[in-house]
């Protein structure tokens, strides 16, 4: 067993089957990896969907467990604790892996013997279509991530997203896993940045983090759910996570982060004006709103 793929799931019964199918249909042998679904207090029929799916797919190493402490960090840590693989892969329950996903992960490991952490590309799968107001600068809120056209190390300060990241289990345990003070989604509140902090800890140990675009998943995005309330929860959650992370370092670090967010807000206004002048006014305000909401979260509003 080389690889353990951990899927944290919360009320995604309508998605989890497609995620499991994408992993079951991998070009890599099913004996090379395991899949652990961690149900994080779902109130829908996620468990029923998984049980039925497993009854129809008896081969392969697929398992199901629960985590009662709410938050993705708790669930992912639980999955990592019981994982049998030397490598931990974290994938979202609304993600669909490409057929060579596992094959390319294992290839990256074999061709980069010194690597301890890396991540891949995420392409949103908009249902029904990408909204007119969506832009590159806002799409990160729905998981869009395309760092570079070829495999390469991340520049300092850059890192993979939680929905498509791989890390050595030994190093994961060495740094204590995900910080549960950054739990992700807890009810209607979001405190994000758990992946960022994890990779910053890995960088602090002197390691290099890699990006490989061949390690690709599609992220299902239902456009009807992209309400202003939803976008606020995601954007403000980024700010709340940065508030928690930077305050744990020092008050000065937190104040510098506030200054950075104010600068980014100013830059977003300039960018919005550019979109308007280019004849894309629908893309203008969402760029500004993203930065306002993130700043609100940083200021604990």
Give the residue-averaged pLDDT of 27-32.
Answer: 97
Q: Which two tokens stand for residue 135?
A: 């832009």
- Residue 188: the pLDDT is 76
Q: Is the pLDDT of residue 21 over 90?
A: yes
Mean pLDDT of 276-294: 98
Give the angle subtended at the CA of 92 by the CAs of 89 and 98, to the nearest 5°.
Answer: 75
pLDDT of 108 strictly over 80: yes
| Percentage of the chain exceeding pLDDT 90 | 96
pLDDT at 144: 96
Rounded distance, CA 81 to CA 16, Å? 21
Does the structure show a pLDDT above 80 at 43?
Answer: yes
Q: In this predicted model, what pLDDT tens digit does every residue of 189-211 receive, in sequence order? A: 899 999 999 999 999 999 999 99
> Quick one: pLDDT at residue 186?
82
Per-position DSSP letters for 46-95, written without gaps between them: HHHHHHHHHHH--SSEEEEEE--S-SHHHHHHHHHHH--SSEEEEEETTE
Interval 276-300 mean pLDDT: 97
Q: Please tell me the predicted confidence (pLDDT) of residue 149.
A: 96
pLDDT score of 281 more than 80: yes
- CA-CA distance, 156 to 84, in Å (whole number)? 31
pLDDT value for 61: 98
Is 80 exceeded by the pLDDT of residue 301?
Answer: no
Regarding pTM above 0.85, the answer is yes
- Please compute the mean of the pLDDT values over residues 18-27 and round it to a whole number: 98
pLDDT tier for residue 54 given thresholds of 50, 70 and 90? very high
Kindly tell me if the per-residue pLDDT of 155 is higher than 80: yes
pLDDT score, position 157: 86
CA distances for 94 relative to 17, 113, 237, 241, 259, angstroms: 9, 31, 19, 22, 34
Nearest to 200 by CA among 209, 191, 192: 209
Q: What pLDDT band is residue 254 in, cutting at 50, 70 and 90? A: very high
Q: What gap in Å lies between CA 165 and CA 160, rounded to an integer?
A: 6
For the stretch 217-229, pLDDT in tens is: 999 999 999 999 9
Residue 187 has pLDDT above 80, yes or no: no
pLDDT band at 62 (very low <50, low <70, confident <90, very high): very high
């Amino acid at each position: 067993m080389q690889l353990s793929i951990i899927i944290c799931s919360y009320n995604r019964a309508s998605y989890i089957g497609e995620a499991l199918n994408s992993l079951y249909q991998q070009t890599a042998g099913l004996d090379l990896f395991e899949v652990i679904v961690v149900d994080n207090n779902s109130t829908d029929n996620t468990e029923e969907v998984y049980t039925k799916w497993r009854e129809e797919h008896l081969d392969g190493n697929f398992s199901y467990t629960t985590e009662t402490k709410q938050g993705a960090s708790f669930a992912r840590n639980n999955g990592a604790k019981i994982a049998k693989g030397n490598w931990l892969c974290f994938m979202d329950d609304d993600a669909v892996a490409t057929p060579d996903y596992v094959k390319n992960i294992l290839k990256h490991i074999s061709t980069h013997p010194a690597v301890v952490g890396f991540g891949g590309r995420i392409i949103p799968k908009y249902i029904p279509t990408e909204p007119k107001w969506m832009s590159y600068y806002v799409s990160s809120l729905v998981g869009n991530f395309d760092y570079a056209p070829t495999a390469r190390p991340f520049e300092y300060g850059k890192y993979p997203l939680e929905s498509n990241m791989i890390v050595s289990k030994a190093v994961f345990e060495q740094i204590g896993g995900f910080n549960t003070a950054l739990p992700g989604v807890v009810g209607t509140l979001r405190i994000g940045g758990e992946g960022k902090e994890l990779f910053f800890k890995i960088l602090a140990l002197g390691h290099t983090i890699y990006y490989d675009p061949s390690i690709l998943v599609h992220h299902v995005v239902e456009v009807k759910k992209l309400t202003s309330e939803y976008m606020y929860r995601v954007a403000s959650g980024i700010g709340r996570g940065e508030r928690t992370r930077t305050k744990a370092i020092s008050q000065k670090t937190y104040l510098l982060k506030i200054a950075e967010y104010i600068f980014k807000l100013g830059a977003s206004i300039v960018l919005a004006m550019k979109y308007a002048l280019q004849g894309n006014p629908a893309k203008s305000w969402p760029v500004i709103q993203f930065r306002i909401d993130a700043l609100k979260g940083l200021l604990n509003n």
